[in-house]
Structure 1
Amino acid sequence: MSELSKEKYTWDLSAIYRSGEEWEETLKNIPQLVSQITEMKGNITISAQNLLNTLNTVEKLSISLARAYSFARLSFDTNMGDSISKNRYERIDSIATQVNEQLAFIEPELLKMDENKFQIYKNEEPELNKYSFKFEKLFRMKKHILSPEMEELMTKLDSLGRSFKKVFDDLVVNDLTFPDVTGESEKKIEANEANYLKCLTSQDRVLRENYFKGLLNTYGSHQNSIASIYYGSVKHDIFEANTRKYNSSRDMALTSNFIPVEVYDNLINTVRNNVDKLQQYLNLRKKALGLDEIHFYDLFVPVVKDLSKSYSFEEAKDLVLDALAVLGNDYTDILKRAFDERWIDVYPAKGKRSGAYAIGIYGSHPYSLLNFTGNLEDVFTLAHELGHVMHSYYSNENQPYINSQYSIFTAEVASTVNETLLFNHLLSKINSPEEKANLLSMHLDSLRSTLYRQTFFADFEKQVHELVEKDQPLIPDILGSLYKKLYELYYGKDFVTDEELSYEWARIPHFYTAFYVYQYSTGISAAISIAKRIQNEGEPALAGYKDFLKSGGSDYPINLLKKAGVDMSSPQPILDAIKDFEQSVQQLSSILGISV
C-alpha cells in the first residue's frame, strides 16, 4: 500500500487545529478565560448580566479545553512514542486539573440563587434560557452541594478516593507474580491478565483450566490486601454519600445522573427472574463442547468451529452501510462523510494505542480510533464506534454546547443499536449453517458477558455497599461467600462453582467505580428494544430514535430514552433483550441439532 493510500485510513486532525501552533494559541488563551471567571467570584449572581457573562465565558473555556484535550489525545494515541505528542497530552491534562480546582467555587455560588430569581434573570436576559436545564438539574441537586470551602475539600478528597483504584492497578501490574502454566502441548504461558482471552478461548481444555486456576489463585493469595483496598474504596464512597446527604452510596451514584434507584432494582430483579435462559445456554454449551460438566473456563471457547473469515476494511464498510441503511439516507450519508473525510484511524501501527473508541468534539466532527485486523469482531467494532460517532454528531449539530453532552447512561445505546442492526442484517443474509452458527455463538457470548455478567456484578456491588453501610467489615470470607452464592443463583446447579471463583471479585477493576457497570446491561437492553421497534414499526420508531440522538443531554436520560420508545423503569426493555437471547439459543440449538 502506498503512503498516499495509507493516509486515507488515518484521521485528519485539521478539522480541530490546522497546526500545533494553533493548538498552542488555545493554551495561551485559557489563563485569560480562567481569570475572567475568577474575577467574578462573589459577584456571579448579583445580576442577570453578570450571570450570563460568566456562564458564556465558562462555556467558551470548556469548549477550548475540550478541543485542546481532544487534539492532544488523538495525536498521542496514534503515536505514543512521539515526545511532542506525549508532552502536549501531559500538559493539557495538567491544565485541565488546575482549571477544575480553580473553578470549584462556581456551583456553590450559583446555588445562592433560587428558582424564582433565576426566572427573573431569564426574563431580563432571554439568552439565559439555554441554561434552563442546567439550572433545573442544579436546583434538584442543591441539597447535596456544600459550601465553597467544603467543595474544595471534597475535590481533594475525591483525589484521595481515586487512589484506591491506583493502588489496585499498581498491585496487579507491578507486584503480583503470575505463574507459568501449560496445557497439552506443555508450552509455558504466563497466567496473567494479558493472556485472558487467548487462554480461555483455547481449544486446549487443560490449558484453560490451568490458566483459570493460576490467575485466580494469584489474586486469592493476595485477597487480604485487595479486600482492604476495596474496603477503603467503598468506605470513601459511603463517606462522600453521607457528607452530601444521600440515602446511600448507590443513591449518590445514580442521582448524580438522575437515574431513579428503581431502574437499578428493576434490572437486577428482571434478570434474576430469568436466569433460567442463561442456564439453558450453559447447558447448550456443555453439550456442544461434549463436556460432562461445565466450569467458568468453558464459557469463552467457541462452541462452533472458528471459520476465520477475513474482511477487508472496504468490505466491512459496505457491510455496515448496508446494515444501517434502515436508519435512512441522512444517517448513512453522514457515515460516508466519516469514511471519505478521514474521521477514522483504521489500522494497527507501531506506537498506536490498542482498542477502539470514539470521541465527540463540539464545533468539529467526531473521530474514531480502530485497530482493524479483518475478523468479524472488527466489523462489529466498526459498527459500534460509528454509533458513538453518530450520536455525538447529531447531538452537537442540534444542541447548544451546554446540552450537547449526553449521559453515560445513554452513551452505549447508539453504538449497540448499530451492532444489533448489523447482527440482524448478517443473520438474514447468511445461508451457510456454519456461518450462521458462528454468528449466533458470537452474539450469545456478547449478550451473556454484557447483560447477565454485568448485572451479576451490579448485584454484587449493591450487596457489598449495603454490608458496609451497616458497619459490616469486608473480609475475604464474606466477599468470597457472597460472590459464590451469586454464581450459584445466576449460573445454576449444573454449573460447577469452583473454589477459585470465590476470588474472582478481587480482579474486577470496575468495582472501584461504584455502580457503573449496570449501565452496560441497561444500555444493551435499551438498544435491542429500539432496534426491534425500528425493524417492526418502521418510520414512527425511526423518528423517535433520531429524536433521541438529536437530543443529546437536553433532558434526563430516562426521558430521552422514552423518545425512542423505551422505558427503562419498566421490565420490558430487559425482557426484550432476554427474549433475543432466548431466541438465539433456540436458533443455535436447532442448527447444531442439540436439544436444551
Structure 2
Amino acid sequence: MGELLKREDQRVEDTWDLTSIFESDEKWEEAYKEVEDRLSEADTFREKGIQSSDDLLEVLEAERDLGVTLSQVYVYSHLKHDQDTSNSKYQSMESRAMSLYTKFASAWSFLTPALMQIDEETLNSYAEEDKLKEFKFDLEKINKQRAHVLSDKEEKLLAQAGLVLNNPGLTYAIFNNADLSFDNAVDSDGNSHVLTQGTYIDLLKSSDRTLRKSAYETLYKKYGEYENTLAQTLSGEVDSHVFTAEARGYKSSRDQALSNNHIPEEVYDQLVDVVNDNLHLLHRYTELRKEMLGLDELTMYDIYTPLVDEDFKVTYEEAKNHVIEGMAPLGEEYQDILREGFNNRWVDIYENKGKRSGAYSSGTYGTNPYILMNWQDNVDNMFTLAHEFGHSVHSYYSRKNQTANQSGYSIFVAEVASTFNEALLADYLYKNLDDDKKKLYLLNEQLEGFRGTVFRQTMFAEFEHKIHTLKESGEPLTADKLNEVYGDLNKKYYGDAVSYDDLISKEWARIPHFYMNYYVYQYATGYSAAATLSEIVLNGTKEDSDRYINEFLKKGSSNYPIEILKNAGVDMTTREPIEKAMKFFEEKLDQFEQLIKNK
C-alpha cells in the first residue's frame, strides 16, 4: 500500500465542496463575528419579557435565525477540521465554534423558563395564531414538558453544571481514546499486529484463530487492569442521569431520556421482550457459525469471523452506479438527488493524512448534505456509502420541506433512512448476482449486520437499563457487579453454542455508548422500522414509495417521531415491527443455510 496523500494533493473532484457554506475562511470569520456580536440580543429579550404573541414571534424567530447561522459556522469548521485533523488552523476554528455554541446555549437558556411563565391556556392561544404556525408544534412540545421545566435561575444553573455533569463521560473518552494503549497482537507465525480500538474488530475477522485469540485476550486483560476506575466513571455517568431526572421531576432516568423524543417507555420494553422471545434465532446462528468454522469450541473471539471467504471488490465508480440503481424502487426523483450529490461534490471520498477515520453524513439547514468516507474497494464501503446517502437524502428532503426549527429529525428515526437504503441495495445486488458465493457473502453481511444492530444493541439496552435501575435503587455499580450483569446477559444472548470466559464480562468497559444516556436501543428500533418499511416499498406500488418519501423523509421533526413512523406505515408502539424484523433475520438465515446445502 502506498503512502497516504497529503490533503493538498487530493484531486479536487474527490473532495467535498464547502464553498457552498462559506466561500472562504474569511467569510466564516465574518459569520462567526456576527453570531458573537448578536449573543447580547438574548439579554434584551430576557429583560423585555413576552407580553404578547408579537413578542413571542419576535423572540422565537431571533433565536432560530441566529441558531441557523451558528450551525453553519460550526458545520464548516467541523468539516474543515475532519478533512485534516492535524491542521492547527481548523483545530482552532472548530474549538472556537464549539465554545460559541456553549455561549449561545447559556445566553438563550432563559427562553424555555420564560415560556413557562406564560400560563398554558394563553400559550396555547398564541400558538393557534396564524403568524406562529411555524412554531405551533414546538410550543406544544414545550407545553408537554411544563412539569419538568425549572425556574430561570435553576435552568441557568443546570446549563452551567453541564461541564461537571459531563465530566465522567469526558474522562472516559480521554482515557479510552488517548491514554489507553495495548500490546501488539501476535499471529500463528509469531508476527506482531498493531492492536488499537480501530483495528480490534478487523483482527477478530482474521482467519488466523491464534491472532483472534491474542487480540481478544490482550484487549480485555488491559481493560481488566482498569476495571475499578472505569466502573467509577460509568457509575458517575449514571449518577448524572439520575440527578437530572430527579431535579426535573421525572419518575426515572429512562423516563427523562425517552421523553426528550416523546417515546413511550413500552417501546423500549417491547423491543427487549420480542428480542428475548426470539433469541433461539441467534442461538441457531451461533450453532451454524460453530459448524461452518469447524470448531469443537466456539469462543467470543470467533463471533466476528466471516463465514464466507470471498474477495468481493467494488470500486467507487461501480459503487456509485449500484447505489443509484439499487434505489430505483424510490423513483427517479430520489435517484436524481443521488446523482446531484455525486456530481456536486457532497462526498469527500478518499483517505488522506490526518483525515478523520470512519464515515458520516453531516450538514445543516441552508447547506448541502456532506458525506465523509475513507474509501476502500470493498462491499462494506459500498454499503456504508448507501447508508450515509440515506442520512443525506433524508436531510435534503427535510430541509427542503420544513422550516429551520423543524428541519432536523430525532435520533429515534435517524437510522431508519440509512438502514432502509442498505436493505434496498442488498435486495438489488442479490437479484442481480449470478455467483452463489457472492450471494452467500451478502447474506453473511446481512446476518452480521442484524446480529450487531438488533441483537447486540438490544443486549446493550438491557444492560443500560439494568445499571440505571440498580443505581436508582441505591445499589453501587462496582466492577464486580457490572461484570456479573454483563456476563449473564452475554450468555443469555449467545446461547450454549459458545464457550465463555471471564474476559467477555468486561466488554462493558470499552463501549462508549453507555455514556450516551439510553441511546443504543434506537439502533435496534431504527433497524426494525427500516426492515418493515423496505419490505413495504419492495413489495408494493409507487403509492407506497411516495408515502415513504412524503410521510417520512420530508417530515423532519414536524411531528412526534412515533407518529411520523406510524404515518409512514410502521407503528413502533406495537410488537409487530420487531417481530417482522425477527422474521427478516429468520428468512435470511434460511436462505443462507439453503445456499450452503446447494454448494
Q: Point out the more displaced range, 520-529 or 221-230.
A: 221-230
Q: Point out the more displaced range, 365-374 or 379-388.
A: 365-374
1:57-456 alignment runs, 5 A limit: 57-122=62-127, 126-305=130-309, 307-456=310-459
SS at match of 2:374: coil
Q: Unpaired segments of 5 or more residues in structure 1?
A: none
**2 CA distance for matches of 1:83 and 1:174?**
18
**2 CA distance for matches of 1:400 and 1:11?**
25
Letter aligned with residue 491 of structure 2: E
Letter aligned with residue 539 of structure 1: K
Q: Which residue of 2 aligns with 1:538?
A: 541
Letter aligned with residue 153 of structure 2: E
2:25 to 20, 25, 35: 20
How far 1:174 moved relative to its partner? 4.5
How far 1:31 moved relative to its partner? 3.1
How far 1:233 moved relative to its partner? 1.1
1:192-213 CA-to-partner distances (Å, cap 9, x unmatched) read 4233123201111122112211
1:561-588 CA-to-partner distances (Å, cap 9, x unmatched) read 0121001111111112211111111111
How far 1:313 moved relative to its partner? 1.4
How far 1:160 moved relative to its partner? 1.3
Letter aligned with residue 367 of structure 1: Y
1:562 to 547, 562, 566: 566
Compared with structure 1, are the counterparts of its residues 248 and 294 closer, same or farther at alpha carbon in structure 2 (3 Å cutoff)? same
Q: Point out the more displaced range, 368-377 or 262-271.
A: 368-377
**2 CA distance for matches of 1:499 and 1:231?**
21
**2 CA distance for matches of 1:217 and 1:197?**
16
1:521 to 524, 535, 553: 524
TM-score by length of 1: 0.96
Q: RMSD value over aligned CA atoms?
A: 1.8
Are the aligned partners of 2:383 and 2:425 in contact in 1 as well (CA < 8 Å)?
Answer: yes
Q: Unpaired segments of 5 or more residues in structure 2?
A: none
**2 CA distance for matches of 1:335 and 1:188?**
43
How far 1:126 moved relative to its partner? 2.5
| Percent of paired sites with the same residue | 38
**2 CA distance for matches of 1:8 and 1:32?**
36
Compared with structure 1, are the counterparts of its residues 6 and 568 closer, same or farther at alpha carbon in structure 2 (3 Å cutoff)? same
**2 CA distance for matches of 1:158 and 1:84?**
27
**2 CA distance for matches of 1:261 and 1:488?**
26
- Residue 571 of structure 1 pairs with residue 579 of structure 2: no
TM-score by length of 2: 0.96
1:30 to 18, 31, 35: 35
1:313-335 CA-to-partner distances (Å, cap 9, x unmatched) read 11111000000011011111111
Letter aligned with residue 266 of structure 1: Q
Are the aligned partners of 1:33 and 1:57 in contact in 2 as well (CA < 8 Å)?
Answer: no
Letter aligned with residue 257 of structure 1: N
**1 CA distance for matches of 2:118 and 2:494?**
52
**2 CA distance for matches of 1:317 and 1:573?**
30
**1 CA distance for matches of 2:480 and 2:541?**
53
Compared with structure 1, are the counterparts of its residues 177 and 84 closer, same or farther at alpha carbon in structure 2 (3 Å cutoff)? closer
**2 CA distance for matches of 1:22 and 1:195?**
39
1:65-113 CA-to-partner distances (Å, cap 9, x unmatched) read 0111111111221122223322221211111111111211111111111
Are the aligned partners of 2:35 and 2:66 in contact in 1 as well (CA < 8 Å)?
Answer: yes
